[in-house]
Structures are given as C-alpha cells and as structure tokens.
Structure 1
Amino acid sequence: MRKSTKAGKDGLPGGELLRPVLHRRREGGRVLASVVWKAGPGWRMLSSGVLGGGLGERSFVLNAQVDGDYRRIDPAAHLAEIAAAARMRGPGVGMMTAADVTGVRLGADGGVEALATVGIGRPTWAADAAELDEARLDAPLAGPPPGTINIVVAVPVPLSDAALVNLAATVTEAKVQAVMEAGFACTGTASDAICLACPVDDGAHAPDPFGGPRSRWGARAARAVHTAVREGALQDAARRG
C-alpha cells in the first residue's frame, strides 16, 4: 500500500527510512547542492556509483550536482571531497548528476522507499547504433542541458546478494516504464546510477532471496521507483518546456 510523504529538512521529501538533507558548496563560481542520506551503520548497499560502488556495508549516500560540462578525471576523489565537506564519515556511496538535485522526488510503497533525481537533457536508448556512440565521443556539448537519473532505494529487510542483483534489474525496468510514460522516447541517459540499500543480516531471519518485479519487495520497490521517477520526469519535461 502506498503511503503519503511529507517535507523534511530543507523542504526535501522524507520517509521513514530515507530522510535526505541538503548540503551546499561553492565550486567553479557556482553554488551547487548535494542530497545526502545519512544512513548510519547497519546498512548493506549495492551501487553503480563511482564512489563506493559494488556491494558492501555503507553508511551514507551522496547525490551531488556538478556542472554540465564536467571535466575532472577523478570523480571518486571529487565525491570523497564533497562527502568530507558534508561531514560524512566512513564508507559511503557517491553519485553525480547535472540535474538540479533540490527537485528530488520520493516514492514509497509497503515499507520500500525510493529517491530519484531526474534530468533527461540527452535521452538515450540502451541499445543504439555503434557508429552513433563513436560519433558522440568527439561531439561538442550542445543542445539541452545534460542530466542523469539517479535512484536510491531502501528496503526495510535484509536481502540476499542474488536478490539485490535481481532488484537492480527490477528498479531499472521501473525507471524505463516511468520515463516512457512521461513522454520520453528513451530508456534513460548514458550516466544513470542506482543505489540499493537493505539492513545487514542480523541472523534472526534468513535474507529474502527474491527481488524480481513479482516478488514481495521487488514489486514494492518497482512501484516506489516508478512514482519517484515519473514525477521527476514530468517535472523535468515541464522545466525544459
């Protein structure tokens, strides 16, 4: 069952698990924001983020806005600097986007919560012509401001490794469904990232082994992600006119 959410600190949407806060920094003559979830100890995360990617125990998730013409070649080190400035301690996950992260959206369903920042300046099909990819490597930045779809999902129960991998596929499918329903002819952007979080196994109960779209937690995650990404995509489309 879906539940309503309400604004938390800094006016960001908040739930029972995901309670994001906003951190601002001055960089390159601009004031840029980051959305931070201070998860604390006891969380295991699977992420494609450049900082803290892979599978392991993590204590925070940082989603940082960067300039659309990002040029640094050390993004993991850059995200570590931003995390330190935001007083994040211990291992964590870091993701980047050119989208305005203050427009983060939250979806919730049956105890699962999802945060999404959505910027679709350069919509992309996952399976595209190879020659187009080669041409884009040297193409100058042009057209609408770039963006990224970054998604954070928190599940309230431990999941097995296989279930987390399955959930990553489920979340991606829900994202694609949402952006297409919002009117975008694409599967996302070329730089989308995800972070899936669940409690560390405490030994009391066996981790749930399933994360597919018809499983208990996969279905709820899919609906939460669909809500957050669809709202964010519609908001992004309206902003771009």
Structure 2
Amino acid sequence: MVLTAPAPGCWQPLLPGLNGRLEGDCILVTADAPWRCASSGILGGGIGEKRFFVNRQVHKDYDERQPRRELIAFLRDNFPDCPIEETTALMTAAWVSQAAWVQRRCGDTNIAVVVTAGVSNACATGITPCWEGLPMPGTINLMAFLDQSLTDGALINAVQTLTEAKSRTLRELGIRCPQTGAWATGTGTDAVVVASRTGGAPQEYAGPTTRIGTLLAAAISAALSQAVRAYLQATSRA
C-alpha cells in the first residue's frame, strides 16, 4: 500500500508503535521503544538500538567539512526531545517533501519504508571512476522498518536484499551512470537504515527468497520507483 505523504507536522502511522512525520526539511520516524537497527547514517551508523530515525534535507551546495558535528547541532536545536545516542540520521539534497511512504503486509510480516531519491549522482558500482573531494549532489536514502525481530545477521541480510532491489529497480527505470553510460546500481552517496522490532524469537534470514526479503524488496521497489519518478518530473520542470 502506498501511503499518502503526511502533511507537514502531522504524524503518519507506519507500524504499531512507529510513526513518521515531515518536519520542515526533515523526515522524522519515532518508535515507542528501541528497535534494533543497521544504519550507514552519518550519525548513529553501525548496529545498535535506536528510537529516532531522521532523513534531513540539505542544500545541494552543502559542503560542511565536519558534517557529523553540524548535524548533531542541528538535531539538538530542532529535535531536543530526540537523544543523540538514540538517533540515527541520514542527509540528502533530494526533496524530502517528495519522499515515498509505502507499507507491505503478508501474514504476520509487516514492513514500512520511507524513500527519498535523487539520481544526478547515479553510478555503476565498479565501473564509475572514483573521485576525490566532495561528492556531487544526488542521493538515494532508504529507511525500512520490519515489525518483527531479526538477528544482527538477518539485519545485514536485509540490507543486502534491499540493495539488490534498489539496483534492479534503477535498471527498470532506465537510470544510467552519466559518466560511463552503464546501468546505474545506485548513487555515490546512498545511505540505508533497516530497523526491526525487538522481542520474540528473532528471524535468522532476510534474503531475497524469504518472506521478509520478498516483502522488503517489493516495498523498496515500489517506493523507489515513486520517488525517482517524482524527482525526474520535478527536475524536468525545473
């Protein structure tokens, strides 16, 4: 199910005990208790338990040399009720107002994803030349929330699965690396969060042929397709 994006400042129920809202230039997702999380975020990256999940929009010319420090200051100023140690945060120059919010359910497996996308920085892993210095703007940020417990290994398995789904979806959308013309597998600055509810017997696998992985891939594909199309339409108009 594709959700209607919440009006600024209004909460959108995502899963039991999990809600999201658009707040200024940020997407904030909050959990009523800590969720086990694997994140590549500039803040709160790694594996740990988090309650607050942020995707912050910055200007396309953002060139802060100490982005983590600046991001912490931003969060303390704007979200003082979100302890830094309980937060993981991503950044993007894509419009968070055009984020795709998607839910999927099969039996007792429930998933919600929130995706923002810009593809001006599209690249083909292993083909696009590496660069030095600051990256170009254009980022795909994926946040996925699973309403059941996963082992840490299964969390990493879920990251693998959604990354494969992202790359497949970009090819289906015809996105190519602008430098080489190769099919894009992502962008040079993509980030990801996968969070699972704690408690109960944890699932040990989340690969692409498991129920969790299949549902996750479907949700990511639907959300990414919506977000990329919105981005392409907006940049074409611009």
TM interval, shorter chain, is 0.7 to 0.9
SS at match of 2:32: coil
- Identity, in percent, stands at 30
- 1:1-241 aligned at under 5 Å gives the runs 3-10=1-8, 14-17=12-15, 19-24=19-24, 33-84=25-76, 85-90=78-83, 91-110=86-105, 111-128=110-127, 132-133=129-130, 136-137=131-132, 146-185=137-176, 186-200=184-198, 202=199, 205-241=200-236
Question: By how many angstroms is 1:70 displaced?
Answer: 1.9
Provide the alpha-carbon RMSD of the alignment: 2.1
d(CA) in 1 for partners of 2:153 and 2:224?
A: 24
Tell me the CA shift for residue 35 of structure 1: 0.9
Q: CA 1:7/1:231 → structure 2, altered by over 3 Å: closer, same or farther?
A: closer
How many residues get paired? 220
Query: What per-residue deviation string (whole Å, max 9, x for no partner) do you get for residues 185-219 of structure 1?
Result: 2111110000001112x3xx320001101111111
Distance 2:173 2:54 in 1: 26
Give the residue type in structure 1 aligned to 2:79: A
8 Å Cα contact 2:5-2:99 kept in structure 1:
no
Whole-angstrom CA distance in 2 between matches of 1:239 and 1:44: 35
Q: 1:191 to 1:44 in 2, by over 3 A?
A: same
SS in structure 1 opposite 2:33?
A: coil
Once residues 9 and 60 of structure 1 are traced to their aligned partners in structure 2, the CA distance between those partners, rounded to angstroms, is 19
Cα distance in 2 between the residues matched to 1:174 and 1:138: 29
| Residue type at the aligned position of 1:227 | A
Larger fraction in strand: 2
> Which residue matches 1:30?
none
- Residue 23 of structure 1 deviates from its aligned partner by 2.4
- Residue 21 of structure 1: CA displacement? 1.5
User: 12-21 or 155-164, which moves further after superposition?
Assistant: 12-21
Structure 1 residues 44, 104: CA separation in 2 closer, same or farther (over 3 Å shift)? same
SS of the residue 1:59 aligns to: strand
Contact 1:62 / 1:83 at 8 angstroms: preserved in 2? no
- Residues 31 and 52, structure 2, Cα contact 8 Å, conserved in 1: yes
Rounded to whole Å, the distance in 1 between the matches of 2:169 and 2:22 is: 25
Shift of 1:86: 2.2
Q: 1:59 to 1:184 in 2, by over 3 A?
A: same
Deviation string 1:129-150 (CA, Å, 9 cap, x unpaired) is 5xx32xx326996xxxx22100
> Which segments of 5 or more consecutive residues in structure 1 lack a partner in the other structure?
25-32
- Which segments of structure 1 move beyond 6 Å, counting only runs of 4 or more? none
* Deviation readout 1:164-187 (Å, 9 max, x if unpaired): 111000010111112221220211
Q: Secondary structure at the match of 2:23?
A: strand
- Alignment TM-score, normalising by the size of structure 2: 0.85
Q: Residues 169, 12 of structure 1: CA spacing in aligned structure 2 closer, same or farther, 3 A cutoff?
A: farther
Paired AA for residue 22 in structure 2: L
Instruction: Give TM-score, length-normalised by structure 1.
Output: 0.84
Q: Is the 1:108–1:224 contact (alpha carbons within 8 Å) kept by the matching residues of 2?
A: yes
The answer on whether the counterparts of 1:182 and 1:230 sit within 8 Å (CA) in structure 2 is: yes
